[in-house]
Amino acid sequence: MSDSLLADAGRRLDAARPEARISEEALARLSQPRSSLKVSIPVRMDNGTLKVFPGYRVRHNSTRGPAKGGIRFHPRVDMDETITLAYWMTFKTAIMDLPFGGGKGGVTVDPKTLSMAELERLSRGYVAAVADAIGPDTDIPAPDVATNELVMGWMADEYAKIHRRSVPAVITGKPLALGGIPGRSSATSDGALHVIRELGATLTGGAEEPRVAIQGFGNAGAQLAQSLADDNYRVVAVSDSSAAVHDPEGLDITALRKHKSETGSLADPPSGSELDDPEELLILEVELLVPAALEGAIHEGNADRIQARTIVEVANGPVTSAADEILDEAGVKVVPDILANAGGVTVSWYEWVQNRQGDRWTEATVRSRLRERMVNQTQQVRALSREREVPLRTAAWILALERLGEAMDATGNERTFRSGSS
Ligand code: NAD
């Protein structure tokens, strides 16, 4: 990943900055991560050899509370990507008004090449390497791309062994039996669904059975495909890293999920047919296009061919800032990632609260509290977008910036100290 990912993220802040009430010194504090740790993780492989994997943990900001953010296992992971993802988390937790800052971690690895035992050793090795940097009051990891509740379970167990006590609140997205919370695995897609429902016809133009294309058929994308299909949307295309599947009449999402869980990929699908070029999914004529895979899917080179009415960013950073300008000009709405995919971190907050209270929340409580918060924050972003006449993304960044600025200035800023009075 090049330097441009972080620079690109900074352009979103630049767009919101003239409209936001925030001091220059708060902006200066936000421009750099508070700490960035690079580690190496030696792992004994099944064939007896030793491999050393690079790992990262970044705490971007913790003014509003302990840093919060997932752990990614992917060959593209590097320090620039991890800092950028941590930076986005600072704004995501602020926009949802959670008592957290932003953090992120990852390991540069292709997890598909590891056996289950190697994956466990790598997960435990990662925690051993960053154990001093994470904790329930400092920095709380969670799942991200290619990590799941099994991995979180190993990591929580390793942390408990290192500290010789159970500390379930150190990590979220754990298996239910180890202090996880019901509804966490579908929280990101549930959150996106609440945002889509709340913005309603603004996004779909009032189409009776709005057409949807989803790039990325993993934890977030596949569940959202199912929920939208159940909600009278017509999911006409989905893709993963191996294939893109299309049926203009609507795909059988249940059959595709079963196929993916049995074979590990969407290739040779039981419903629809494979597109020759998977990238074609992005330019189909649909009401909603949902990028739910990786960063930078929609860029300067393909933005002018997008035919969707609205893009709902379920992945983090799937639309570059250059593409944003082209889409804005063409009248394509974008529901920004820091709002659209914030359901996951919101339910992670509930899990952390539950663990700290030594309580067990019911699924009904989790679902109703998630819905309430997603709807409430979406309404605030929409109101600000109308009031200041800015796109939803800029409105989301303004709201987050103002909350962060207020927290940073609460311990005084230049004006406080110059005036000498409290
Ligand atoms: P995942 O690993 O479960 O799924 C990723 C999916 O994307 C896989 O199906 C993979 O095959 C597919 N993919 C990868 N490259 C692709 C390509 N070029 N074209 C099409 N598909 C491709 O990951 P996830 O947890 O679903 O996360 C997906 C995105 O959502 C990431 O950007 C992540 O940061 C973001 N996100 C996830 C959560 C969460 O709770 N899982 C929360 C917030 C944001």
pLDDT of residue 2: 45
| Mean per-residue pLDDT pooled into runs of 10, the chain (422 residues) | 70 88 91 96 98 98 97 96 96 97 98 97 98 98 95 98 97 97 94 96 92 96 97 96 97 98 96 96 98 95 97 96 94 96 97 97 97 98 95 95 95 82 56
- In-domain check, residue 181: no
Q: Does 52 share its domain with 136?
A: yes
161 noted as active-site residue: no
Q: Of 136, 169, 202, which closes a domain?
A: 169
- Alpha carbon nearest to ligand 1 atom 23, residue: 145
- In-domain check, residue 105: yes
Angle at 411 between CA 408 and CA 413, to 5 degrees: 75
Q: Of 340, 366, 391, which closes a domain?
A: 340
The number of residues making up the chain comes to 422
Q: Which residues contact 404 (CB under 8 A, 6 or more apart)?
A: 22, 26, 30, 61, 63, 64, 90, 91, 94
Q: Does 328 share its domain with 194?
A: yes
Distance CA 238, CA 244 (A): 6
Question: How many folded domains does the chain comprise?
Answer: 2
241 Cα–ligand 1 center, Å: 10
Q: Does 192 share its domain with 322?
A: yes
- In-domain check, residue 101: yes
Q: Does 265 share its domain with 336?
A: yes
The four Cα atoms 40, 46, 48, 51 give a dihedral, to 10 degrees, of -20
Q: Does 65 share its domain with 102?
A: yes
Measured from CB, residues less than 6 Å from any atom of ligand 1 are: 143-146, 188, 215-221, 239-241, 278, 292-294, 314-316, 341, 344
Range of the domain at 328: 187-340
Q: Determine the residue of 71, 238, 241 to mutate for testing ligand 1's pocket, defined as the one with the most ligand atoms within 8 A of the Cβ atom.
A: 241
pLDDT of residue 257: 98
Q: Determine the residue of 76, 88, 109, 145 to mutate for testing ligand 1's pocket, defined as the one with the most ligand atoms within 8 A of the Cβ atom.
A: 145
Count of CB atoms situated within 10 Å of the CB of 334: 22
Edge-first strand listing for the sheet containing 71-74: 35-44, 50-61, 102-108, 71-74
- Alpha carbon nearest to ligand 1 atom 35, residue: 315
Tokens of 242: 């191996």
CATH number of 122's domain: 3.40.50.10860
230 Cα–ligand 1 center, Å: 21
- In-domain check, residue 271: yes
For residue 335, what are the β-bridge partners?
Answer: 312
Tokens of 44: 């004994």
Q: Of 291, 324, 340, which closes a domain?
A: 340
pTM of the full predicted structure?
0.94
Q: Does 41 share its domain with 161?
A: yes
pLDDT of residue 415: 83
309 Cα–ligand 1 center, Å: 22
Q: Does 149 share its domain with 78?
A: yes
Fill in the DSSP letter of residue 106. E
- In-domain check, residue 158: yes
CATH number of 332's domain: 3.40.50.720
315 Cα–ligand 1 center, Å: 6
Q: Does 62 share its domain with 130?
A: yes
- In-domain check, residue 77: yes
From the list 269, 261, 225, 223, the residue with the least C-alpha distance to 244 is 269
Amino acid at the residue 389: E
Distance CA 211, CA 204 (A): 9
Q: Does 201 share its domain with 234?
A: yes
